[in-house]
Amino acid sequence: MTKQEKVTFIIDTLNKLYPETSIPLNHKDPYTLLIAVLLSAQSTDVGVNKITPILFEIADNPYDMVKLKVEEIREIIKPVGLSPMKSKGIHGLSKILISSYNGKVPISFEALESLPSVGHKTASVVMSQAFNIPAFPVDTHIHRLMYRWGLSTGKNVSQTEKDAKKLFPKELWNKLHLQIIYYGRNYSPARGWILEEDSITIQIGRKSVLKEYHKKTLKK
């Protein structure tokens, strides 16, 4: 298959499997999405969704959040990990939203990425899912699958994002990145991967990846 044929096959397969895509992080507006995505760094969505109802019951907007001490935020979010950095980030960005943006989340990559603890991936998720502006946030699942599918070198997430944006139509980015995440979790995980259940990789996978998989399987 050519790269373009691979892209068409991926899109068609994912649309059949995931015709509708909901955001896996519970939220109600751009602010709560921003906080949830920030919390999800090196954490699972399931873990974050257990914590955010507790946090958002106390503070679901920047004005209430800054009333809390950093230590209080840290105590609530401790189960998701990296709580010292994340609690400072949440408190700090909430102060900036109030002082610079009238308490609203800005609709700008530059503005979002200037906020404490907000990197490019977090900004991309907020822009795409809160404001419907085309973006292609690359998480570990997308990074892994773009390499397995022979669509990116896998050197770093920045390169993977550039490659994905070149290959996939812009109007599909916001839905497609979620579809790939769901597919990675369900059919092509990093651990416990069963190639026979992975209908995309078994068809278009990078030859070296398939060879390594079969080599490991024969050893078992």
DSSP state letters, 144-213: HHHHHTTSS--S-HHHHHHHHHHHS-GGGHHHHHHHHHHHHHHTS-SSS--GGG-TTHHHH--HHHHHHH
**pLDDT for 220:** 61
Question: What gap in Å lies between CA 110 and CA 79, rounded to an integer?
Answer: 30
- Rounded to the nearest 10°, the torsion over CA 55, 23, 162, 198 is 120
- 8 Å CB contact between 154 and 108: no
**pLDDT for 217:** 84
| Catalytic annotation, residues | 121, 139
**pLDDT for 73:** 98
Which residues, other chains included, contact 179 with Cβ-Cβ below 8 Å and sequence gap of 6+? 14, 15, 17, 18, 21
Query: What tokens appear for 208 in the block?
Result: 């070296």
**Whole-prediction pTM:** 0.92
**pLDDT for 106:** 98
**In this structure, how many other beta carbons lie within 10 angstroms of the beta carbon of residue 1?**
11
Query: CATH topology for 3-20+137-219?
Result: Endonuclease Iii, domain 2 (1.10.1670)
Domain 30-129: give its CATH architecture. Answer: Orthogonal Bundle (1.10)
- 8 Å CB contact between 136 and 130: no
Nearest one of 5, 8, 10 to 148, comparing CA atoms: 10
pLDDT digits 0-9 by tens, 59-77: 999 999 999 999 999 999 9
Nearest one of 154, 184, 180 to 168, comparing CA atoms: 180
Q: Where are the domains of the chain?
A: 3-20+137-219, 30-129
Query: What tokens appear for 180 in the block?
Result: 């790939």
Question: What gap in Å lies between CA 176 and CA 164, rounded to an integer?
Answer: 10
Taking 70 as the pLDDT cut, the residues of the chain under it are 220
Question: What gap in Å lies between CA 91 and CA 111, rounded to an integer?
Answer: 17
Mean pLDDT of the chain, nearest integer: 96
**Domains 3-20+137-219 and 30-129 fall in the same CATH topology:** no
